[in-house]
Structure 1
Amino acid sequence: MNEHDDVVAKLEDSLKGYKEKVMTTTKGWLEWDKDLIFVGRTQRGYEIDFDARVEWGCMPTEGLLLSFAGCMGIDMVSFLTKMRCKLTKFKIDIEGERNPTPPQYYKEIRITVRMSGEGFTEKKIQRAVSLSQEKYCSVYNSLRKDLKVTVDYVIED
Structure 2
Amino acid sequence: MKATINWTGNASFKATSGSGHSVQLDGPPDRGGENLGPRPMEMLLMGIGGCSSFDVVSILEKSRQEVTDCRCDLEAERADEVPSVFTRIHLHFVVTGHNLKEKQVARAVSLSAEKYCSASIMLGKAGVEITHSFEIQAAE
Please give the range of the TM-score, normalised by the shorter of the 2 chains: 0.7 to 0.9
Larger strand percent: 2
- Consecutive unaligned residues in structure 2, runs of 5 or more: none
Do residues 156 (structure 1) and 131 (structure 2) align?
A: no
Q: Are 1:27 and 2:8 counterparts?
A: no
Aligned residues: 132
Moved more, 144-153 or 75-84: 144-153
Mapped partners of 1:66, 1:78: distance in 2: 18
Gaps of 5+ in 1: 1-25
Root-mean-square deviation over aligned CA pairs: 1.3
Matched, 1:126 2:106: yes
What amino acid does structure 2 have at the position aligned with 1:46? H
Q: Give the alignment of 1:53-132 within 5 angstroms.
A: 53=28, 55-132=35-112
User: Structure 1 residue 88: deviation in Å?
Assistant: 1.3
What is the percentage of aligned positions where both structures have the same residue?
Answer: 33
* Correspondence for 2:26 among 29, 51, 66: 51
Task: Name the TM-score, length of structure 2 as normaliser.
Answer: 0.88
**Residue 139 in 1 paired to residue 114 in 2?**
no
Could you tell which deviates more after superposition, 131-140 or 105-114? 131-140
State the TM-score, normalized to the length of structure 1: 0.79
Q: CA deviation at 1:91?
A: 0.6
Stretch of structure 1 that moved more, 104-113 or 119-128: 119-128
- Shift >4 Å, 4+ stretches: none
Distance 1:151 1:50 in 2: 27
Structure 2 CA distance for aligned equivalents of residues 120 and 150 of structure 1? 22
Bigger shift: 120-129 or 131-140? 120-129
